[in-house]
């Protein structure tokens, strides 16, 4: 193969020089004048095809693989998008029932919240009422005890004044105390 290329180049070179060294007369152009350039072109094109065939094939194979992987990726994304579209369309079809369900859930939650709030409020009121009654009972008992103590102190004070003021009572009280001590 190398020999063919080598001889082709030599033939092309010699033919162009032989053509250029012509008689020098005036020559009318014809289709035959394109023979040598056509041969040159065929030799050059053959050489380029022979040399560039493998790299071009590799490049095109790589491009084909890239395009194939890109197409596969696009197909997968298209399939995923179609599934998502179908899911969203199903949800949109069921939108009225979903809205009704959400409203009913909201209303049920609101009723339950109001019921719980009422129960908590009543429990808090009863606890506060019970605490208040206990506090009032405690304060009432404390005031009664203090009033009883004040009354006893007042009675004792009045009794002491009466005994001090009357000498006969003073003597009897002294005798009674002494007799109790014996």
Determine the pLDDT at residue 16.
56
Determine the pLDDT at residue 80.
96
Q: Which residues contact 12 (CB under 8 A, 6 or more apart)?
A: 36, 39, 40, 43
Which of 45, 42, 38, 44 has the alpha carbon at shortest distance from 19?
38
Stronger pLDDT, 95 or 148, i.e. the higher one: 148
Stronger pLDDT, 147 or 5, i.e. the higher one: 147
| Helix (H) or strand (E) run with residue 103 in it | helix 95-165
Q: Which residues contact 27 (CB under 8 A, 6 or more apart)?
A: 33
Residue 75: pLDDT band with limits 50, 70, 90 = very high
- Domain parsing of the chain, residue ranges: 1-17+35-93
Are the C-beta atoms of residues 164 and 170 closer than 8 Å to each other?
yes
Residue 15: pLDDT band with limits 50, 70, 90 = low
Determine the pLDDT at residue 12.
63
- Report the first-to-last Cα separation within the chain, whole angstroms: 158
Q: What is the mean pLDDT of the chain?
A: 85
**pLDDT per position as a tens digit, 52-68:** 899 999 999 999 999 99
pLDDT over 70 (residue 99)? yes
């Amino acid at each position: 193969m190398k020999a063919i290329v080598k001889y082709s180049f030599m033939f092309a070179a010699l033919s162009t020089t032989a053509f250029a060294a012509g008689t020098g007369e005036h020559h009318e152009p014809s289709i035959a004048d394109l023979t040598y350039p056509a041969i040159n072109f065929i030799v050059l094109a053959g050489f380029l095809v022979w040399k560039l065939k493998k790299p071009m094939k590799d490049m095109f194979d790589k491009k084909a693989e890239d395009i194939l992987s890109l197409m596969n990726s696009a197909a997968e994304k298209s399939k995923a998008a179609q599934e998502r579209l179908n899911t969203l369309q199903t949800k949109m079809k069921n939108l009225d029932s979903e809205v009704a369900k959400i409203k009913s859930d909201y209303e049920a939650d609101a009723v339950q919240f109001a019921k719980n709030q009422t129960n908590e409020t009543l429990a808090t009121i009863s606890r506060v009422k019970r605490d208040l009654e206990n506090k009032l009972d405690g304060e009432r008992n404390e005031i009664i005890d203090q009033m009883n103590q004040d009354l006893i102190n007042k009675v004792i004070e009045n009794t002491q004044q009466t005994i001090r003021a009357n000498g006969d009572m003073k003597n009897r009280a002294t005798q009674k105390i002494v007799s109790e001590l014996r």
